[in-house]
């Protein structure tokens, strides 16, 4: 991981880069997939509709199979916190799986302050978080366009607000879709730990940069975590027919520039 300002960018500074990886990573982690190979032929993961819904559908279509091995987890042993400006993030021990507690606070009155607490399991992920789309302010989108970024952003893949209202004619998928999308980003960003986390993560006015800073601080402190094995078997996706390989949701979609949120 080398950049987090507008999206999660993976790769080596001297080699190939893959941007906007957080939604597909969230889909894999949220659906309980431990082993998967991802093939991509460009510098960005397709944005699809701005959520993880297309990736969830592809995982369900492919199917999930078990492997004869115990699952491994990273168990958080003590609280680790990071503060960046007015953003605060903390990960702490938690008795039951992974929990995300996310709060956003925008000066924009249409978005305002929202909070959401989420205990991760595949059914709740699919129903409550997976369909939440990326969002942004019209003034920021216009600024990114003028700078040559987010050129694929549209009302088809981004929830857009001005100072007075939501601009998407079809409305929101959830009344608090913005904070739910932030939960989606948290799940995808923390998937870069390499193993599922057993802990509770709290984010206040955070984003990709804060998520990765907390994860980096956690992994840097070897007294703060340990690897444990669970009784549940590890899962992976079942091979699919060659005709569907490399195509998410049965279609190829254009990738889009750095994420707005």
Residues with active-site annotation = 208
Cβ–Cβ under 8 Å, residues 236 and 212: no
> Strand pairing partners for 66?
235
Cβ–Cβ under 8 Å, residues 209 and 9: no
* Torsional sign, CA 94, 99, 101, 102: positive
Tokens of 162: 């001005």
Q: Can you tell me the distance from the alpha carbon of 129 to that of 123, in angstroms, rounded to the nearest whole number?
A: 10
Number of neighbouring beta carbons within 10 Å of residue 42: 11
Cβ–Cβ under 8 Å, residues 178 and 111: yes
Tell me how far CA of residue 244 lies from CA of 59, 250, 251, in angstroms.
Answer: 12, 7, 9
Show the DSSP H helices in the chain as ranges: 22-30, 53-62, 122-124, 138-146, 177-190, 208-220
Cβ–Cβ under 8 Å, residues 63 and 235: no
């Amino acid at each position: 991981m080398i950049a987090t300002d507008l999206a999660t960018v993976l790769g080596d500074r001297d080699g190939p880069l893959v941007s906007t990886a957080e939604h597909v990573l969230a889909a894999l982690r949220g659906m309980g997939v431990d082993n998967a190979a991802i093939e991509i032929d460009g510098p960005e993961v397709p944005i699809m509709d701005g959520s993880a819904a297309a990736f969830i559908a592809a995982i369900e279509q492919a199917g999930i199979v078990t492997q004869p091995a115990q699952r491994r987890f990273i168990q958080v042993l003590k609280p680790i916190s990071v503060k960046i400006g007015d953003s605060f993030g903390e990960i702490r021990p938690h008795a039951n799986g992974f929990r995300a507690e996310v709060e956003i606070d925008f000066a924009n009155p249409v978005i305002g302050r929202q909070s959401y607490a989420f205990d991760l399991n595949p059914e709740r992920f699919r129903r409550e978080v997976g369909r939440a789309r990326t969002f942004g302010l019209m003034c920021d989108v216009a600024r990114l366009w003028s700078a040559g970024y987010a050129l694929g952003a549209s009302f088809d893949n981004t929830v857009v607000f001005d100072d007075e209202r939501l601009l998407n004619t079809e409305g929101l998928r959830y009344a608090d879709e913005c904070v739910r999308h932030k939960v989606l980003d948290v799940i995808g960003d923390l998937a870069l730990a390499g193993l599922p986390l057993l802990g509770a993560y709290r984010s206040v006015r955070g984003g990709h940069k804060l998520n990765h800073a907390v994860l980096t601080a956690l992994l840097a402190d070897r007294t703060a975590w340990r690897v444990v094995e669970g009784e549940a078997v590890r899962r992976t996706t079942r091979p699919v027919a060659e005709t569907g390989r490399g195509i998410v949701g049965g279609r190829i979609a254009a990738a889009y520039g750095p994420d707005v949120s």
